[in-house]
Structure 1
Amino acid sequence: MGRTIVITGGSAGIGRRVAQRFAESGADVVITGRTPDRVERTAGELGVRGIACDAGIPAEVARLAEQAGPCVDVLVNMAGGNTDLTRGSETASLEELSARWQANLTANLMSAVLTTSALRGRLQPGGAVINVGSIGAEYAASSYGAAKAALAAWSAGISAQLAPAGITVNTVAPGYIEDTEFFRGQLTEERRATLIDSTHNKRAGNPDDVAGLIEFLASPHARHITGQTLHVNGGAHTTR
């Protein structure tokens, strides 16, 4: 049996492609998601294990840890998404503003914190934790961007804690990626064109662009890369 890979939010979009690539390499892959039917269907299609789990709910994460098995080699914290896209555009009160921010913090930060904490004792030397952030963290006026910025900061900090055990921790921050459900049908053609025009290579990203980097970070070739945020955005945001 190959390595055990746990991918939260692995039933669709980028997470599904990550799961597929690891499964094709012979790994024992566990995917999670909030919707049991979708998790079961995707797991069957990919030939992986599926566990329904809302990664923002402590009791469900604890159950996931027990079901995942005693040893985990790679954890990919993919679960998240911009919860504002499901709540409409109006904020009527401070209570609603608080609820909006808490929803994105739970979905994008606490989901990774809870899952990593639950599986920490099962992570094996030579393993990797890979957190999926966003280009939105660079423009963090929104609750989604702020949550992803916090995720990257936490990721860099926990890297130092896990490194003595031989475990790397990195954040992968995608830009605009097509063929996902991220925008929930709310992306206009004008906005799409603007996002593509902001890149250097004038194309949208695709799930394989992100999945390939995640696969590399989980490989023996990336053992001296830790505590980093690696951007996958075609140059829409550059670092030096």
Structure 2
Amino acid sequence: MTRTVVVTGGGTGIGRAVATRFAEKGARVLITGRRHSVLERASADIAGNVVAAQVDASDPDAVSAFADEVGPVDILVNNAGGNTDFDRAPTSSLSSVADSWRANFESNVITAVLMTTSLLPAMNDGGAIVTIGSIAADKGSGLYGAAKAAIASWNIDLARRIGARSITANVVATGYIADTEFFRDVLTHEAKDGLAASAMTKRAGAPDDIADMVEFLASNRARQITAQTFAVNGGEWPSR
């Protein structure tokens, strides 16, 4: 039976790699995001059954309408997010500080919570929810790290609530991944080399590295794996 997969932020980077992987496996894949042209280009480029849906995952009404339209899904990949501070001019005012925290939580936490809450009632039993986190959650990386830490905690409660339906919920915490829009093309070659060198593998991660883990966690081989956070960072931040 053909599986239905939703990938938020599926037009570029990690999301696009994940969408490509599931499409290659014969799934019906819906990629969401805010930029229509980016989504349309990705859906045209990826071979397989890939549908673009312009959805702001932080907008409750938009997410609800999307859930009503798409119907039951088997796999949800909460990939939308990123450090919104890269899009803001820093100031020291309390108002700006509050806005920065709200923006990061909305981009990384609210998007995942809304999409999951909206799709979950009609989700097929035996499915999987995978949310993209970051090693920033463990490294003390300011408000972006705090948002990703919140995701990891929320995921444990989510897994507890859906376990009886044989739906798993896990987080993939990434390290530095090249070929994404995360740093908004502001990194110098020296900075990129430094990030790659901080990994024990001495290379930058690639979107396909994350797609590999997401695919595994959504597969029948991982039905007893849930409520976990898996670091995919080349050893930049070890765990035990």
Bin of the TM-score, shorter chain as denominator length:
over 0.9
Match of 2:196 in 1: 196
Residue number among 33, 49, 56 corresponding to 2:51 in the alignment:
49
Aligned residues of 1:7 and 1:31 also touching (Cα < 8 A)? yes
Please list every run of 5 or more consecutive structure 2 residues that lacks an aligned counterpart in the other structure: none
* Count of paired positions: 238
What does residue 68 of structure 2 align with?
A: 66
- 1:139 aligned residue: 139
**Equivalent residue runs for 1:113-152 within 5 Å:** 113-152=113-152
C-alpha deviations, 1:49-105, integer Å up to 9, x for none? 111011111111111101212x110000000011000113x2231001000110000
* Mapped pair 1:187 → 2:161: no
| 2:83 aligned residue | 82
| Deviation readout 1:7-43 (Å, 9 max, x if unpaired) | 0000111100110110011101010011112112212
Q: C-alpha distance in 1, partners of 2:131/2:51?
A: 20
Q: Distance in 2 between matches of 1:45 and 1:222?
A: 30
Kindly state the Cα deviation for residue 118 of structure 1 after the two structures are TM-superposed. 0.2
| Residue identity matched to 2:197 | D
Over aligned residues, Cα RMSD in angstroms? 1.1
- Specify the alignment match of 1:104 in structure 2: 104
Q: Where do 1:30-45 residues align within 5 Å?
A: 30-45=30-45
Post-superposition CA distance 1:105-152 (Å, at most 9, x none): 000001000000000111111100000001111123411111000001
Tell me what 1:22 maps to. Answer: 22
Match of residue 211 from structure 2: 211
Displacement, 1:191?
A: 2.4
Q: Does the CA contact (< 8 Å) of 1:159 and 1:169 recur in 2?
A: yes
Identity, % of aligned pairs?
49
- Distance in 2 between residues matched to 1:49 and 1:67, nearest whole Å: 12
The aligned amino acid for 1:126 is G
Taking the aligned partners of 2:81 and 2:189, their CA distance within structure 1 comes to 24
Question: Aligned pair 1:160/2:160, yes or no?
Answer: yes
Contact 1:140 1:149 in 2 (8 A): no
CA distance in 2, matches of 1:83, 1:122: 31
The separation in 2 between residues aligned to 1:79 and 1:42, in whole angstroms, is 15
User: Partners in 2 of 1:191 and 1:203 — Cα distance?
Assistant: 13
Q: Matches of 1:11 and 1:213 in 2, distance apart?
A: 19
Q: For residue 124 of structure 1, give the secondary structure of its aligned residue in structure 2.
A: coil
Partners of 1:51 and 1:28 lie apart in 2 by: 13
- Deviations, residues 182-212 of structure 1 (Å, cap 9, x unaligned): 1001212332222122111111100110001
140-149 or 49-58, which deviates more? 140-149
